[in-house]
Structure 1
Amino acid sequence: MSLISSTALGIGLTVAGATPAAADPYDCSTWYKSSTTAAGTCTNGTGEFRVYTRCDRPLARDYTVYDPIWRRVGTTSTAICHSGGKPYGADIQVH
Structure 2
Amino acid sequence: MLDVDPTTMGLEFGGSAVVGGLLGFATKQIAKLLAIIVGVELMAFRYLESQDIVTVDWNRLSAGLLKTGDRAQEGVHWLVSVLSMVSVGAGFASGFLIGYHRG
The TM-score normalised by the length of structure 2 is 0.25
More strand per residue: 1
More helix by share: 2
Whose radius of gyration is greater, 1 or 2?
2
